[in-house]
Structure 1
Amino acid sequence: MADKSNTITLVITHTLQPGQHQAYERWLERIMPEAQTFPGHLGVNVIRPHKEGNTYNVVIRFDTLEHLYAWTQSDRRKQLVDEIAPLLAADDHIEVRTEAAFWFTPPEPDVKRPASWKQFLITLLVIFPSTNLVPWITAKLFPSMVGTLPLHFINDAFVVALVVWLWMPVMTRLFARWLKG
């Protein structure tokens, strides 16, 4: 039985054959809404390649391992994966993670993870401004709620959403070279 307190993360790495970016993007537009219809789906994030790259990382979150398994073993997903196979330079690489450390895990197995102090600095660079700006903005928008539990919840939800879906993907791409060094 999966630990329901942890998010289960599926990281799929697809390396495309040259010139297949547009076809792959169209495929993503079809498969992402399909995944959202499955129970326990918590969101998806696509980390696109650098300008000269061909490797996409698709990060899908589910609430339990059972729900993740239901999606990965579904006939619809298998059909969509079969459709995309001709565009790929290699078979897809799939990892299942139960922790947030996937942000700093290189897709290539022979590449070491960034030093812990670098992970700390990037995370701090993301968390510090978010946890200071979001409460300031929400206090301006909802002055009567300042200091209440509902506003703390709203602040936390916004900070987590910004970190997971915006800042960490941007920062890990922006600092990719430094993180590898």
Structure 2
Amino acid sequence: MDASANRDRGGAGATVVTSQKVVAGYEEDYKRWQEQVNRAVRDFDGFEGTELYPPESEEDNQWVVVFRFAGLDQLSAWLRSGTRRELLHEGRELFEEEPSQEVLSGGEPAQQAVTAVVSHEVKPGRERDFVAWQDKTLKTQEKYPGFMGSELFAPVEGIQDRWVVVFRFDTREHLDQWLKSEARRKLLDEGRHYFATYDVREIASAFSGWFRFGKGEQAGVPPNWKQAMSVLLALYPTVMVLNLTVGRALTNAGVPGYLGLFISNVLSVGILTWVLMPMVVNRAFSFWLSPDRPRSRRVDVAGAAVVGLCYAVLIAIFGLTT
């Protein structure tokens, strides 16, 4: 997909990306609290889904949550609700500082591939200059390996007064290459004439390394729920076959269980990465997984049903053979 076209295309949906730095040692308490929030938000009109992204390192300890709604009005109702206010009050002791959020009205869901969400506090009267600077930045980004698209979101009146940019790369390595580049550093120096502060948050797909469709820099990945179903489809028979063959052979040879399990895990990851996912699952289910194919609820349901049927067949086969 052309990156500039991605910038211009809008949508009726609305997304809020919330970033919260959890106090060290309170991670499990935070997960339980976040589950309360997730249960509460499901009761609100227009709610479509949520994703939780843990921190990249223990030192960072910054958790990112994405909430998606059908429209801005429904999202606003959640953000301003007494339910959410009470939950934030209950969880205040879990955070080192006030959670921050970016509201994205329309555009693409910020959950595919590796996504960076950058919010800017634009100086009054410099909005046009800022937009022109963003266009210049986009033209530079397009030259970098793995760039998949960028979207610019204006402030949302009554909810947020910051400008937000969302851009995607196919891998974390390519994203980091851009974030640490000399070209970006020079652009940021120039951009400081137009914005006072900015903040960067990264969101990574859980299994994106196992999914590639298309060629070169525009290769993409399917939604996380399809990735999870597909990985399970390949992982289950791989683990079962290895347990029945390699696992038994290692046990009979006197290899300790913990070492045998490690060897089996190494083999299963290798088989998934270089054989089953790219050569079998991705090809067989490209009609359902490929992000470049037209999407419809009918195709989504049909693909999920076929995968579910494959689960049942595999369970029956291993049930009869073991």
Instruction: Give the TM-score range, shorter chain.
Output: 0.5 to 0.7
Aligned 8 A contact 1:134 1:155 in 2 = no
* Gap runs ≥5 in structure 2: 1-9, 122-136, 149-168, 171-217, 223-277, 305-322
Q: Structure 1 152/40 Cα, relative in aligned 2: closer, same or farther at 3 Å?
A: closer
- Does 1:154 find its partner at 2:299? yes
1:84 aligns with 2:91: yes
Does residue 1:134 correspond to 2:141, yes or no? Answer: no
1:30 matched to 2:36? The reply is yes
Cα offset, 1:154, TM superposition: 1.7
Distance 1:124 1:150 in 2: 17
Among the aligned pairs, what percent are the same residue? 22
User: Larger C-alpha radius of gyration, 1 or 2?
Assistant: 2
How many Å apart are 1:131 and its aligned residue? 7.5
Matches within 5 A, 1:1-181: 5-52=11-58, 53-98=60-105, 99-100=107-108, 102=110, 104-106=115-117, 115-116=141-142, 117=144, 118-120=146-148, 122=170, 124-127=219-222, 132-135=283-286, 153-155=298-300
Letter in 2 for 1:9: T
CA contact (8 A) 2:22 2:62 kept: yes
CA deviation after TM superposition for structure 1 residue 7, in Å: 1.4
Q: How far apart, in 2, do the equivalents of 1:9 and 1:158 lie?
A: 26
Indicate conservation of the 8 Å contact 1:44/1:59, yes or no: yes
Secondary structure of the equivalent of 1:95? Answer: strand
Equivalences, count: 144
Contact 2:46/2:69, CA 8 A, preserved across alignment: yes
The alpha carbon displacement at 1:20 in A equals 1.2
Aligned match of 2:181:
none
Structure with bigger helix share is 1
When residues 92 and 158 of structure 1 are mapped into structure 2, their CA distance, relative to the original with a 3 A threshold, is farther
**TM-score when normalising by structure 1:** 0.64
TM-score by length of 2: 0.38
Provide the alpha-carbon RMSD of the alignment.
3.8
Unmatched tracts of structure 1, length 5 or more: 139-148, 160-181
Specify the code of the residue in structure 2 equivalent to 1:15.
Answer: K
